[in-house]
């Protein structure tokens, strides 16, 4: 219930343009590890492998928003994957003009999302299948929040999915590498 309230409050702030991006220095591996630690017990209970590939890199960006997006994506991956694996990958790329970008992906071997549903997955209160929403609790706001947080950080989030293979959500946002 608290999670539903928190999601609704954050979504309202994003809709009202009252949510600000707070940039600070952070360790990328720590953000990813926090998500893994939170969801590892449930993933293990379901017999799922939850892994990551991430470098121990100091960045300057919005760690709270990145963490929120990661929690939403990993939470959905665990929720909608009945067997197999979930993998988080993080790498640094470039925007083609010399600026650094963080490419963060969450892939799973879950139920996947049909092509027709992919265009609306980032809309608020969207549920892929109403039968699934009855068995898997959620606010229906996670993807909408993630989409808006990505935009707030001047980034984007994309999806590739196949109902027979699983899904991969990819976040691409500008960051600055902090030299240590």
3-class SS at 8? helix
* CATH number of the domain encompassing residue 157: 3.30.565.10
The predicted-structure confidence for 95-148, as pLDDT tens digits, reads as follows: 777 779 999 999 999 999 888 786 766 666 555 554 444 444 555 677 888 999
Q: Where are the beta strands (DSSP E) in 16-140?
A: 24-27, 49-53, 58-61, 85-94, 100-108
Domain ranges, residue 46: 2-177
Pairing of strands 166-174, 156-162: antiparallel
What is the radius of gyration, based on Cα positions, of the chain? Answer: 16
Positions of the chain with pLDDT under 70: 1-19, 118, 120-140
Q: How many domains does the chain have?
A: 1
């Amino acid at each position: 219930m608290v999670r539903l309230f928190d999601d609704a409050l954050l979504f309202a702030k994003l809709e009202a343009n009252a949510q600000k991006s707070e940039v600070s220095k952070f360790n990328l591996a720590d953000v990813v590890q926090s998500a893994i630690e939170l969801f590892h017990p449930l993933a293990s209970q379901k017999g799922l492998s939850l892994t990551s590939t991430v470098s121990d890199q100091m960045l300057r960006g919005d760690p709270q928003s990145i963490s929120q997006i990661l929690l939403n994506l990993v939470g959905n991956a665990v929720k909608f994957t009945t067997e197999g694996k979930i993998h988080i990958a993080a790498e640094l790329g470039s925007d083609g003009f010399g600026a650094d970008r963080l490419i963060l992906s969450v892939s799973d071997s879950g139920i996947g999302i049909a092509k027709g549903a992919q265009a609306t997955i980032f809309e608020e209160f969207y549920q892929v299948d109403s039968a699934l929403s009855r068995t898997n609790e959620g606010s229906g706001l996670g993807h909408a929040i993630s989409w808006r947080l990505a935009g707030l950080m001047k980034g984007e989030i994309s999806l590739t999915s196949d109902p027979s293979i699983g899904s991969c959500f990819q976040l691409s946002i500008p960051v600055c590498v902090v030299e240590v």
